[in-house]
Amino acid sequence: MIYQSEQLTIKRLDGDIAELNFDLQGESVNKFDHATVTSLTAGLDALEAESGIKGLLVTSGKPVFIVGADITEFTSLFGSSKEEIKPFTGANNKNFNRIASLPYPSAVAINGFAMGGGLEVCLACDFRVMSTAAKIGLPETKLGIIPGWGGTVRLPRIIGVDEAVMWMATGAEKRPADAMKAGAVDAVASPEQLRGVTLTTLQTAIDGKLDYCERRVRKHGPLPLNDTEALMTFFTVKSMVAQQAGKNYPAPVKVVEVIEQAHKMGLEDALDVEAEAFAELATGPVAAALVGVFLNDQLLGKKAREWEKKADKPIERAAVLGAGIMGGGIAYQSAYKGTPIKMKDIAQEGLDLGLKEANKLLAKRVDRGRMTAAQMGDILNSIDPTLTYGGFDNVDIVVEAVVENPKVKHAVLAETEKQIDKDTVLASNTSTISITYLAQALERPENFCGMHFFNPVHAMPLVEVIRGEKTSDSAIARTVAYANKMGKKAVVVNDCPGFLVNRVLFPYFGGFNMLLRDGADFQAVDKVMERWGWPMGPAYLMDVVGIDTGVHAANVMAEGFPDRMQPDFKSATEIMFELERFGQKNGKGFYEYVEDKRGKPIKTVNEDVYGMIADVVGEKTDFDKDDIIMRMMLPMAIEMARCVEEGIVGTPAEADLALLYGVGFPPFRGGIFRWMDTIGLAAIKEASDKFAHLGKAYELTERMNEMLANSETYY
Ligand code: NAD
């Protein structure tokens, strides 16, 4: 044994080959945490002192290779200054440079995931052999940073600038065929043959039949581009990346800038350029927000798995009541993810519509080569359309998605309960009606909970699982398990009007209606909020949700929280409703919609709409953009704070993700609590005072005031 620690070992094999094996004790995966980096330095000291070594084999003792840097360690890093961050990149760069310049060749066997730093160590090796079971990539830009251990330097020198930029700007995971085609790896082997092929490659290099020195010259020198080529390449790539990433995500463009700045440099200088840019991004708010989202997502996943463990019975067969927009979507998603589902409606047209929708979504996958026609057939066959309750005694969960009417729901739920096993979970996809209230129709309310999907079901990741007063843990556990199986992100919340997402969304729409009342132009408001990062502004969003649905839900919310959600004026949204301008669903709302060739609704402006709402809007006023933002965001943020304070949702982390996955809250802001932490509660208070005349929706809670006084933050 040359070196041994809890993170890695280096031992001497036959033929004077040293094997560096990463195997982090007590963890299921390898990662570059602080201890591993330190251990690698010590291991390399020992390796360099060992005489007679002819080659280095790098392997992993886990099913993955190395998943990357330890992101949980990033949070402390991100609070530091640029100068404090540089040693973080420096220490491992030194390690990788030492591997890259050993006086003998090195080859790595990439047996599983090699992401971020995990791939960067492979790039430092002379030869790379990849298992058919492995995936590689540099996903740092997804976290708002760039690769910091030589990725921006070595990858373009190995696979070319264009390809390297695409790998890093998208952060995509690459399969063996793509990696081989790009030239990122030298060979692909089956898991059984991986070690043998890697050792043979290494031995061939040791025997002088593969020139590793020539590779090093290429990898450590300037990029082979003349000035004209460089100008053309970087100009084109930069504008393309900038357009794709958008102005709120600086990391992808930084990747191009760093490669450009370092293209005439050798390894050491190029690494300095990378380190400087890494530190700049790592100290910015976008990286903090995106890393926060990543960590929150880990927490949510952990909670979901914990619930799943508590499920006393797996969900193997499901049923959905109602084959409308939502029921059809739920049936598709369930079948697509492998749970056969009965889809019941009272009308054949409903069933036809639901199946047509599933058909359309699956056909798209077949067209794009993501699925075979035979697979599509199997999935469609696992949706069983029916007008009766036949076979309902044999399902594990029933999701009710009939019209949003409490009387109809009460009747349908009571009727269904008689048709199902006493153990079957019954869940409602209601958007607004209290779960505790709906449970009153049932004999087994403990088996009942909310399972609130978002529209369109296949595209929106969030599912709110709602606990009514009598809901049992078992019902929640099995519903979360079903959501997991459907590939959704489940957030468990307590019952209240609007649950979590709609409860905070409607104060936001309330803010919008007040802005219009006070003379703001709805298009101007949309533009400001879209620039702020929302995928669509409030008028457009209201059209997409459906103005009829929106008005109905707003009434429910007003009844539930009259002190802050009951308007004392007639709103422009209500006028739209009265004029039967229901939004995208009937082609007209605040905007009008025409379908393009592919049937996608395209938003257009009809200036007549201003005339229609003239009676309820004030004299045209040009609001300052910051005022628009605060008038829109404050009611949402304060209501969300109430939801945490009242225990509707467990943590700010879950609340932040619920908005991100349910309504597309801008990820680069990290979530609404992260946003409040970033701008500070003092700024929130200042805005609250400024807009106090707008009512209680703008008034901070006692706890928020207390937090401000104690300089507390949500994270
Ligand atoms: P929809 O009108 O498109 O579909 C409702 C379907 O239920 C229709 O096909 C109707 O024939 C059927 N139906 C009515 N009574 C029935 C019964 N007794 N048994 C079986 N089927 C019956 O409505 P939708 O938009 O799909 O909404 C369904 C539910 O989902 C509502 O509770 C709604 O609040 C909720 N929801 C809707 C959205 C959305 O954006 N549309 C989002 C989240 C939740």
- What is the ipTM metric for this complex? 0.97
On whether both 88 and 184 belong to a single domain, the answer is yes
Residue 77 has pLDDT above 90, yes or no: no
With a 6 A CB cut-off, is 163 part of the ligand 1 pocket? no
In sequence order, what are the residues at sequence separation of 6 or more whose Cβ sits closer than 8 angstroms to the Cβ of residue 355? 323, 328, 343, 380, 383, 385
Q: Containing domain of residue 653, as a range?
A: 502-709
**Mind listing the pLDDT tens digit for each residue in 488-533?**
999 999 999 999 999 999 999 999 999 999 999 999 999 999 999 9
Residues 592 and 673 in one domain: yes
Quick one: 677 and 695 in the same domain?
Answer: yes
Q: Judge residue 610's burial from the number of C-beta atoms within 10 Å of its C-beta, 0-12 exposed, 13-18 middle, 19 or more buried.
A: middle
The mean pLDDT of 178-205, rounded to a whole number, is: 98
The number of distinct structural domains making up the chain is 3
Q: Worst-scoring range by mean pLDDT, 155-159, 312-316, 694-698?
A: 312-316
Q: From ligand 1's centre to the CA of 325, what distance in Å?
A: 7
The pLDDT assigned to 300 comes to: 96
Give mean pLDDT, residues 649-654: 97
CB of 594 within 6 A of ligand 1: the answer is: no
Q: What is the DSSP string of 171-231?
A: ---B-HHHHHHHTS-SEEE-TTTHHHHHHHHHHHHHTTSS-HHHHHHHHHS--S--HHHHH
Q: What is the mean pLDDT of residues 542-549?
A: 94
Say how many Å lie between the CA of residue 142 and the centre of ligand 1. 36
- The enclosing domain of 377 has a CATH number of 3.40.50.720
- Look at residue 291 and tell me if it is in a domain: no
**Which residue lies with its CA nearest to atom 25 of ligand 1?**
325
Confidence of residue 74 (pLDDT cuts 50, 70, 90): confident
Determine the pLDDT at residue 57. Answer: 98
Q: What is the distance in A from the centroid of ligand 1 to the CA of 354?
A: 11
| pLDDT for the residue numbered 446 | 98
Are both 664 and 620 inside the same structural domain? yes
In a domain, 634, yes or no: yes
State residue 286's pLDDT score.
94
What lies within 8 Å, CB to CB, of 395 at 6+ separation is 317, 318, 319, 342, 420, 424
**Boundary residue ending a domain (492, 511, 535):** 492
Kindly report the CATH number assigned to the domain that includes residue 638. 1.10.1040.50
Task: Please report whether residue 297 resides in a domain.
Answer: no
Q: What is the pLDDT of residue 179?
A: 98
> Does residue 357 line the site of ligand 1, with CB under 6 A?
no
pLDDT tens profile 279-296: 999 999 999 999 999 999
> Quick check: CB of 457 below 6 Å from ligand 1?
no
Instruction: Dump pLDDT digits (tens) for 260-285.
Output: 999 999 999 999 999 999 999 999 99
Using the atom order of ligand 1, give the atom closest to the CA of residue 328: 26
In the reported structure, the alpha carbon of residue 503 is separated from the centroid of ligand 1 by a whole-number distance in angstroms of 20
What pLDDT score was predicted for residue 528? 98
Same structural domain, 552 and 616? yes
Question: Residue 96 and residue 123: Cα distance in Å, rounded?
Answer: 9
Are residues 118 and 36 part of one domain? yes
CATH number of the domain that residue 96 is part of? 3.90.226.10
Rounded to whole angstroms, how far apart are CA atoms 5 and 35? 10
Domain boundary among 473, 492, 511: 492
Residues 362, 221: one domain? no
- pLDDT tens for 214-259 read 999 999 999 999 999 999 999 999 999 999 999 999 999 999 999 9
Q: Is 373 a pocket residue for ligand 1 (Cβ < 6 Å)? A: no
Amino acid at 2: I
Whether 296 is in a domain gets the answer no
Q: What is the DSSP string of 15-51?
A: TTEEEEEE--TTSSS--B-HHHHHHHHHHHHHHHH-S
Which pLDDT band, with edges at 50, 70 and 90, does 78 fall under? confident
* In contact, 636 and 504? CB cutoff 8 Å: yes
Do 595 and 685 lie in one domain? The reply is yes
106 and 14 in a common domain: yes
Cβ of residue 347 lying under 6 Å from some atom of ligand 1: yes
Closest CA to 290 of 681, 714, 32, 657: 657
Count of Cβ atoms closer than 10 Å to residue 594 Cβ: 10
Indicate which residue's Cα is closest to atom 36 of ligand 1.
431
Tell me how far apart the alpha carbons of residues 386 and 416 are, in angstroms, rounded to a whole number: 14
Mean pLDDT, to the nearest integer, of 336-356? 95
| Six token digits for residue 9 | 């070992």
Q: What is the pLDDT of residue 357?
A: 87
- pLDDT score recorded for residue 671: 97
Evaluate if residue 67 carries a pLDDT over 80: yes
Catalytic amino acids? 452
Tell whether 261 and 326 lie within a shared domain. Answer: no
User: What share of the chain has pLDDT > 70, as a percent?
Assistant: 100
Residue with tokens 């209230």: 437
Cα gap 374→501, rounded to integer Å: 38
Runs of H (alpha helix) within 262-347: 267-282, 285-310, 325-336
Q: How confident is the model at residue 567 (pLDDT cuts 50, 70, 90)?
A: very high
User: Which pLDDT does position 80 carry in this prediction?
Assistant: 80
On the question of pLDDT at 86 being above 90, the answer is no
Give the mutation target among 321, 325, 543 for probing the ligand 1 site: most ligand atoms within 8 A of CB.
Answer: 325
b/e sequence 555-580, b meaning 16+ C-beta within 10 Å: ebbbebbeebbbbeeebbbbbbbeee
Q: What is the pLDDT of residues 628-645, one digit of tens each?
A: 999 999 999 999 999 999
Which of 318, 381, 323 minimizes the C-alpha distance to 350? Answer: 323
For residue 309, is it within any domain? no
Tell me the CB-side half-sphere exposure of residue 682, using CA atoms within 13 A: 3
Q: List the residue whose alpha carbon is closest to atom 8 of ligand 1.
A: 324
Cβ–ligand 1 contact at 501 (below 6 Å): no
Instruction: Give the pLDDT band of residue 369 (cuts 50, 70, 90).
Output: very high
Residue with tokens 């404050």: 634
Q: How far is the CA of 326 from the centre of ligand 1 (A)?
A: 6
Whether 303 is in a domain gets the answer no
- C-beta 404 within 6 A of ligand 1: yes
Q: Does residue 307 lie in a domain region? A: no
Indicate whether 482 and 507 sit together in one domain.
no
Nearest to 629 by CA among 503, 505, 534: 534
Q: Is the pLDDT of residue 688 over 90?
A: yes
- Same domain (yes/no): 273, 385: no
**304 in a structural domain:** no
Select from 355, 413, 415, 431 the residue to mutate for testing ligand 1; criterion: most ligand atoms less than 8 Å from CB: 431
Residue whose CA is closest, atom 10 of ligand 1? 322
Determine if ligand 1 sits within 6 Å of the CB of residue 548.
Answer: no
pLDDT band at 315, cuts 50/70/90? Answer: very high
pLDDT band at 75 (very low <50, low <70, confident <90, very high): confident
Q: List C-alpha distances in Å: 712 to 53, 73, 643, 676, 708.
A: 56, 22, 18, 11, 6
In this prediction, residue 5 carries a pLDDT of: 98
Domain final residue pick, 465, 492, 519: 492
